[in-house]
């Protein structure tokens, strides 16, 4: 890594020790926690000296030798952990973020709950040869205004299944919705495509499908939105049935598959606002604060996922995972596979299904009938209301989640958005060119280094819930600030004794240049342009942070800026 590595990114708050860690250090930092835990130390403990490590290793090996069943694998883990902690690991191999091939796409949607929507993708060429992630965004879904359907697919062993699902799953889901709700309408072209599936989805198949779902319905009577969840389940099953045709598959044995996460976003009409409470449904207790509806509810999110791609909602500065992990790390999924005659290998860390796959649910994988017996297309689905306290919705592929947890992604998103607004406000308020913005920021930041400001990122999960320092509103296209005790916006917290994040700021200048051109042409930049640039900036920075943290998979991030931002 270069000497000025500290300037190559922002910091991530470690969920174990609560220290601010640079992305380049994050990979080895996490391995250090795991090694300490395996050797019997507190994972948040500071580095242990070599003599103490050697004594602890000998103690553990002595205990292991006295056991009736000696485990060579456990002995290897002890040795590996000891050797890892003995060496001074500080950085992963360097990833040149200046030469990444990230593709940023900004999509305009008419949904009143969405301020901006941006997708950023990176193949991660250091580890991957092909880009196997795909995404879709359908505005005016089902010819309904203020309704959109979006999602992404994370391909495995090729992009064929991911491409097919991204193209056909929205049609299959719309077909199911239209059978229950007449406000969802299909065009003639869409109906023709659906009719072409009749040779696969025959009447006999529909009868078997009806028997199965009627039986499932008896065990799920508490869900008010069960018809939407049923539509999700049917469309996923039918999509998996279509993938059995093997269209465009290159291999005769190992066909491609994919993990999927989707979101149906609908806006509630004003006359139904007061009746929203009656539509409340019961979900997992961890989402209790999300399912408490009020008269301020503006819309609904209906999320469904299979595999290891996820969706999170940032509400009042706190992160809520709206999806479920379907992999061998889940105890319930492991039990399901083993009880049904499947096998899970002993590969680290959690084993592989039939020695091939870590995900336990998904679409496709039909080339291997033994593997397909365990990998089922049953989605997890949930419906939650959204209001003006909901700030961001993030859908991302496995490339992001394998290096960052949900709380870290939410905190980073809040921090990046606030930092972007800080720099934009500086240019707006002073009417200065971007060549002078660094000087203006240095001047405005004097006196803002109090302990409360520097601790804001650590309290990032709650800062917009109770924090009174930051209160930004957009009025007539201008950004105004009120209720600020020190007239300063939140600063990005960095580790002690480091240089300012110049690379982070250079990226911000790129997006602010769009604002400057708007200012020069129209006098003031519109709030729409501000949100669009902010969404593009955040999605790209999250991709770069995942790359710097050591991600080894394709990365796709879809971020939606909601009214609460």
Q: Which residue in this structure is represented by tokens 């835990």?
A: 37
Query: Residue 505, preceding bond cis, omega within 30 degrees?
Result: no
pLDDT digits (tens, 9 = 90+) for 276-296: 433 444 344 344 455 444 457
All domains of the chain in start order, with CATH = 12-86 (no CATH), 103-215+224-268+297-326+361-428+526-562 (3.60.40.10)
- What are the phi and psi torsion angles at 48 (to 5°)? -100, 145
Confidence of residue 41 (pLDDT cuts 50, 70, 90): confident
Nearest Cα to Cα of residue 37 among 21, 67, 60, 62: 60
Confidence of residue 234 (pLDDT cuts 50, 70, 90): very high
What is the SS3 assignment for 363? strand
pLDDT at 397: 96
pLDDT digits (tens, 9 = 90+) for 477-502: 333 333 333 333 333 333 333 343 44
Sheet harboring 310-315: ordered strands across?
A: 103-106, 114-122, 555-562, 390-396, 310-315, 318-321
More confidently predicted of 512 and 168: 168
The CB-side HSE value for 184 (13 A sphere, CA atoms) comes to 24
- What are the phi and psi torsion angles at 341 (to 5°)? 85, 5
How far apart CA 171 and CA 238 sit, in angstroms, is: 11
Could you please report the per-residue DSSP string of 526-549? -HHHHHHHHHHHHHHHHHHHHHHT
pTM (predicted TM-score): 0.77
pLDDT, average across residues 397-408: 93
What 184-189 contacts at long range (C-beta under 8 Å, 24+ apart), as own/partner pairs, is: 184/141, 184/142, 184/143, 184/144, 185/142, 185/143, 185/144, 186/142, 187/143
């Amino acid at each position: 890594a270069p000497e000025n590595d500290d300037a190559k990114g922002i910091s991530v708050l470690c969920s174990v020790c609560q220290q601010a860690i640079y992305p380049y250090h994050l990979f080895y930092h996490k391995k250090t926690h795991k090694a300490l835990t395996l050797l019997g130390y507190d994972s948040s403990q500071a580095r242990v000296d070599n003599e103490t490590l050697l004594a602890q290793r000998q103690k553990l090996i002595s205990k292991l030798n006295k056991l009736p069943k000696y485990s060579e694998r456990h002995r290897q883990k002890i040795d590996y952990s000891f050797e890892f902690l003995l060496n001074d690991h500080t950085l992963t191999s360097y990833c040149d973020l200046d030469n990444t091939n990230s593709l940023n796409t900004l999509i305009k949607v008419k949904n009143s709950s969405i301020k901006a929507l941006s997708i950023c993708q990176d193949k991660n060429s250091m580890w991957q040869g092909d880009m196997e992630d795909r995404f879709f965004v359908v505005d005016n879904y089902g010819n309904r205004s203020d309704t959109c359907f979006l999602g992404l697919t994370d391909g495995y062993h090729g992009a064929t299944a991911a491409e097919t699902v991204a193209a056909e799953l929205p049609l299959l889901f719309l077909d199911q919705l239209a059978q229950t709700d007449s406000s969802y309408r299909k065009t003639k072209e869409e109906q023709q495509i659906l009719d072409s599936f009749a040779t696969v989805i025959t009447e006999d198949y529909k009868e078997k499908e009806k028997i199965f779902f009627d039986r499932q319905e008896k065990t799920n009577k508490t869900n008010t939105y069960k018809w939407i969840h049923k539509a999700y389940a049917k469309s996923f099953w039918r999509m998996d049935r279509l993938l059995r045709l093997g269209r465009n598959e290159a291999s005769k044995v190992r066909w491609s598959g994919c993990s999927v996460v989707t979101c149906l976003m609908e806006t509630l009409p004003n006359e139904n606002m007061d009746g929203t409470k009656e539509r409340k449904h019961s979900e997992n207790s961890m989402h209790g604060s999300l399912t408490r509806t009020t008269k301020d509810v503006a819309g609904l999110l209906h999320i469904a996922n299979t595999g290891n791609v996820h969706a999170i909602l940032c509400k009042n500065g706190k992160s809520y995972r709206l999806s479920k992990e379907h992999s061998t790390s889940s105890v319930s999924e492991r039990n399901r596979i083993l009880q049904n005659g499947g096998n899970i290998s002993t590969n680290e860390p959690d084993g592989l299904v039939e020695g091939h796959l870590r995900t336990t649910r998904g679409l496709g994988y039909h080339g291997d009938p033994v593997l397909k017996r365990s990998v089922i297309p049953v989605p997890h689905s949930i419906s939650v209301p959204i209001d003006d306290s909901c700030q961001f919705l993030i859908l991302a592929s496995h490339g992001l989640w394998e290096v960052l947890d949900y709380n870290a992604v939410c905190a980073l998103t809040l921090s990046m958005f606030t930092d972007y607004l800080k720099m934009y406000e500086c240019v707006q308020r002073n009417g200065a060119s971007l060549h002078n913005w660094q000087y203006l920021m240095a001047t405005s930041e004097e006196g803002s280094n109090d302990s409360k400001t520097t601790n804001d990122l650590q309290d990032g999960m709650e800062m917009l819930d109770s924090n009174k320092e930051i209160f930004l509103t957009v009025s007539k296209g201008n950004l105004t600030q009120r209720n600020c005790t020190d007239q300063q916006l939140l600063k990005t917290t960095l580790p002690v004794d480091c240089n300012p994040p110049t690379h982070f700021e250079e990226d911000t200048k790129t997006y602010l240049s769009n604002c400057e051109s708007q200012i020069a042409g129209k006098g003031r930049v519109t709030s729409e342009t501000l949100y669009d640039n902010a969404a593009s900036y955040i999605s790209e920075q999250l991709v770069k942070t995942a790359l710097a943290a050591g991600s080894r998979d394709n990365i796709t991030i879809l971020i939606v800026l909601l009214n609460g931002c």
